[in-house]
Structures are given as C-alpha cells and as structure tokens.
Amino acid sequence: MQRTFLPWSFVSPADSDCCSRQVRRRLLRRVAPAAQACRLVTVTVILLATAVGTDAAVHDSSTHTDSEQVPTWSAKDMDFFLHGSMSAEVVPESVLRAFIKIYPDLFATNDLTHLGLIPDPEFGWPIGLSRANVKHLGELPSLGINCASCHFAQITSKSANQPIRILGATSHFDVEKFFGSILAATFKTSDPADMKKFLGIYLDADAKTLDAAWRSQEQHIIAAMRDDPFGAKRVPPGELRKVDNAEVRQSFEPDIDLAARTQAMLKLFHNMRAALHVPDQPPEKAPPSSGPGRNAAFGLLAAGLLNLPQPYSPIKFGLVWNVEKRTWVHWDGNTKSPIARNLLAFARDLPSHS
C-alpha cells in the first residue's frame, strides 16, 4: 500500500499525548526506527587505526582528527561545515530552550542527544545546528540545521579511548522528530495553561509575580487565545505575520500586557510553521516516521515546495565522500549534476519567505 508523504509529516508526535487537549487526539505517535559498501568499511578501518577522537567540542583534541580527513580545509571552513548558516533557521533559541524545559515528553534531553545529534559544548548546541537572527521570527537569534546534521557521525572503538568523529558519513539524526517536536510544542502552547508555563520560562519571570499578573488578566488572555489560537487570523495560508522584536522581547515588566504578549507569541509560532510549509491545523493522519538517519529528500521537496505529495519512501542520508568524482549523484542516482543536487537540497532545507 502506498502512503503519501505530506509536508506536515514532520510532526513527531513523539508522542500521541504531546499536544494540548484540543489537538491531542489528532496527532499520531511517531516511532523513531544496509550494509555499507566496502569503501565505507575500508575508510572506517583506516580512521579507527589512525584517529584520536573526543566527546567534547571539535576545537580541542578532536580537531586534529577531523582536520586529517579534510587537510585542505581551514579552521573557518571546519567551523562553517559544523555550524554555518544555510538560512534555514526555524526556531528562536529562547523559544526552544523554553520548550525543552516545559515539554520533557517531547524533548527527552536538554542537549538534543536523544535525536542522535552530537554535542558541541563550545557552540552551545549540537554539531549540525546553526544560529542566525531571523526577521520573521522577531529578529531573535534562531536555530536551524545545516549539512553536518546529516553528514557527520561519531563511533566508538575498543582501540580508542575517545569517540572517533567521521566527516561525510551518514548520521543518526532523527530530523523528522526534531522538527516534529518543535511543531507539536507550538500546537500544545495554544492551550492557556501551557502558554502560562511557557511564558514563565521564556520571560524568566518569578512564579508568584507571574501568577498574580496572569490571574488579574486571565479573562483577556483566554479571550485573545480563543479568538486566534494559532496566530493565523486574517492571514492567507502560508503567509507570514509581522512580528516586531519588541513584541516578543524576553522581559517581564510590572505592567506587562500578558494578553498582547501571548498574541505575539502565537503569531511567532504561526511564522515558524509557515516557514516550514506546515498548516496551522494538525493533520488528521500523519505518515509513518522515517526514523533516525533517514528521510525522503525529494519527497519533502515535492510536497513542501511544489505541493506534489509523493509515495512515502524514506532512505538513509547519503554518503558525501568523493561526490565530485561521481557521474550520478544522490541516493538513487537521479541526476548527473552535483551542483543541481546541492541546489535542490538547499531549496528543500530553506524555510519559505527567507
């Protein structure tokens, strides 16, 4: 039986109970989950014999190991591969930190290692995440993914004291669960009780002070949220709302208008979804999860950008070694042009309206 790959298949609903009471029943549980070619085995053996890895940031003892694999790269090149922006930032950093704290059902670890990502304490977020200020996200410093999230791996060996990192290998990153957890959190926060928890963390407010302000404004807050629970009122589907930095600032003043701040956050959540081509209503039915280290790249492109859903066909992230020497590229050898493949991958990962 064929399944259609839909743009909102990101929804990880890690977790059928991950959404607010209004949407909980509509989100489906996502379940996180070939032999490599001889070349992979050979390269891995060589690396195991020669490399010295680390479990800390790539700028310490592991830098030597990583650099040996790309001897022509400068330190700046390495930094860009690990964390350089592709203009694919989709979630404000402060919003993600609040989501992680209040929704442990969606985010099992604070450092996102449960998603198969590799920590980088020096950067503050795992390898493969980038940071940039985004206009439609209130000019807030925001996070997204880059090439390293899917093409950077870490292995352990009895012959090495530290993990060994391999550039260009297939990662175990569960990209759909990453986006799905974020999207599910935006839907869940349309519930007033969850919005109150979110604002407490996001605004770094004293619990008693916030509670008093919330109780005094509760009727206005609930009325505003009922009027526009997904921040999309009077906006064409897929279009962005104007969000000023002052509307979403992380400050709690004695005279704060919590109804207005709540409306601004809902508009911000709408923009996060719109940039990912995700509608403001959760799906009645979602496709099955691709699992760690897999997705359907061209299915995402066709569904998200061209509105042409394809049969569900996830496949492992490709290896990028010696790609410049290949006649046919991509997982299934569907193009002879490496630059065309790269442009398509870039277009797939690029949020709309960037």
What is the predicted pLDDT for the residue at 145? 94
**pLDDT, position 53:** 34
Question: In whole angstroms, how large is the CA radius of gyration of the chain?
Answer: 21
Cα end-to-end distance, the chain, whole Å: 36
Q: Nearest Cα to 95, choosing from 265, 241, 221?
A: 265
Quick one: pLDDT at residue 259?
Answer: 97
Q: Is the Cβ–Cβ distance between 135 and 241 less than 8 Å?
A: no
Q: How much is the average pLDDT of 184-196?
A: 97
* Neighbour count for residue 250 (Cβ, 10 Å): 14
- pLDDT category at 5 given cuts 50, 70, 90 is very low
Question: Is residue 30 a contact partner of residue 289, using CB atoms and an 8 Å limit?
Answer: yes
Could you tell me the sign of the dihedral formed by the alpha carbons of 304, 306, 307, 308, in that order? Answer: negative
Highest mean pLDDT: which range of 140-144, 172-176, 236-240, 350-354: 140-144
- Asked if residues 112 and 125 have their Cβ atoms less than 8 Å apart, the reply is yes
Task: Report the share of the chain in percent with pLDDT over 90.
Answer: 50
pTM metric for this prediction: 0.75
CA distance 224 to 218: 10
Mean pLDDT across the chain, nearest whole number?
Answer: 78
Burial of 254: CB neighbours in 10 Å, binned 0-12, 13-18, 19+: exposed
Res 289 pLDDT > 60: yes
Q: Are 20 and 194 in contact (CB under 8 A)?
A: yes
